[in-house]
Chain A
């Protein structure tokens, strides 16, 4: 393990990038998932069809392909747009961090769409009737009854979606994001110890996913304090 000595700070900054990607993709993933679920539950046939296509496309395609397509595709499209205004531009670089963040948020968002849809459908009819009987408006029912009841149902699969986000971050290294996996590749170049370097990466990811799992367990416990059978 002495070979890792000079590389700990690089691994640390790489881990910070993993966290950054996780944070932004988590926000985007929730937004995509909620929009998708709202579209699927709406009465609008066009919205339903679009949301259906979204989930089929992003759940049926390998993650790496979505990342590559978004990265190279957006680079080509942006270059073409910029060339209209300044014809001597050769190539526009798209930051891999943003292309990758959006790509994994779109992928996991398609799974979250189904989770949120199922959770909203799982809210008990009786709770909503009770809210109506208390004279709550639709908005109040949504905020005070539907949301608190649905997030408890959505939490266990949502925890898995968060784990997918963390683990998919490693795939963004393929398009050149300098996260831990990328650091390992550089470190191997100088130390010639691939096993050691990749084991460190594995350890970092294992730590991240353990933290996510533990927080989800904590949140489940918090959510269950008022649930059925709780006192």
Chain B
């Protein structure tokens, strides 16, 4: 164990935490929006909305995220029309491609989690809503949404952690996030244990922080269920 190497490299690795956070938060927000859209498409009951959503979910859950990142970053520029399109400024940059890939991927997973939440809403509550004269839309907004969100939260926190871990794959398309920096240092020093274990500890701390944060939110959301 080379302690000076660790004390020298950890600050360097941490300089990439900004990119890790940007990738994570941007993809999480965009992914959640995508997931809600996909969910509404699935629940619409119209085949021309529900099928595309199901195909998206099937493809993005059935293939490795690494393949998705590579198709978007290396694959799409093969086409002239992609390079001429308005999306080119995003798809030209590895950061943009990583966000697009992570968003499409996490959106598919989160949609299934949210669907589980919606299906878990007690029927009696919806009947009570009907008895009170709420419209279908009102029932969805005031009854289904808050209860489904609470049911889905534990599974969502797991997916959020998966997303955080998946940001490390951005290092494969030349992005200098924490993993990218660590791999460069290992290539120079050839000290995998020191560098990679330090990085693993940083990721574990992040995982722990995310878990605690979601635990807090869960407690807050259920304060009137278990007072």
Contact = CB atoms under 8 A, between A and B. Distances in A.
B88 interface: no
Contact of B192 (A76, A181, A195, A197): A76
A205 interface: yes
A205 B179 contact: no
Main SS at interface, chain B: helix
B186 interface: yes
B204 A57 contact: yes
B217 to A, nearest CB: 19
B64 A195 contact: no
A44 interface: no
Contacts of A173: 66
A145 B192 CA distance: 46
Contacts of B78: 192-196
Interface in B127-174: 161, 165-169, 171-172
A146 to B, nearest CB: 27
B190 interface: yes
A168 B64 contact: yes
A170 B64 contact: yes
Nearest to B191: A76
Main SS at interface, chain A: helix
Contacts of A134: none
B200 A61 contact: yes
A210 B61 CA distance: 10
Nearest to B192: A72
A202 B192 contact: no
A201 interface: yes
Interface string B199-216: 110011001100000000
Given A167-B64, A206-B59, A198 B74 contact: yes
A205 B200 contact: no
Given A62-B179, A64-B179, A167-B64, A69 B196 contact: yes
Given A61-B200, A63-B165, A69-B193, A188 B62 contact: no
Q: Size range of the interface on A?
A: 35 or more
B67 A73 contact: no
A171 interface: yes
A174 interface: yes
A195 B203 contact: no
Nearest to A174: B172
B63 A62 contact: no
A122 B207 CA distance: 27
A169 B67 CA distance: 11
A66 B193 CA distance: 11
B221 interface: no
A59 interface: yes
A37 B190 CA distance: 36
A65 B203 contact: yes
Contact of B186 (A56, A62, A72, A192): A72
Interface in A74-94: 76
B129 to A, nearest CB: 30
A189 to B, nearest CB: 12
A78 to B, nearest CB: 13
A209 interface: yes
A195 B199 CA distance: 32
A229 interface: no
A209 B63 contact: yes
Nearest to A107: B165
Interface string B59-76: 101111111101100111
Interface of A: 56-57, 59-66, 68-69, 72-73, 76, 163, 167-171, 173-174, 181, 184, 188, 192-199, 201-202, 205-206, 209-210, 213
Given A170-B64, A209-B63, 13 more contacts: A57-B204, A62-B167, A62-B179, A65-B196, A65-B200, A65-B203, A198-B67, A198-B71, A199-B75, A202-B59, A206-B58, A206-B59, A209-B61
18 contacts: A60-B161, A60-B200, A62-B179, A64-B168, A65-B182, A65-B196, A66-B200, A68-B183, A69-B200, A76-B193, A170-B67, A171-B66, A193-B78, A194-B71, A194-B75, A195-B71, A199-B71, A205-B62
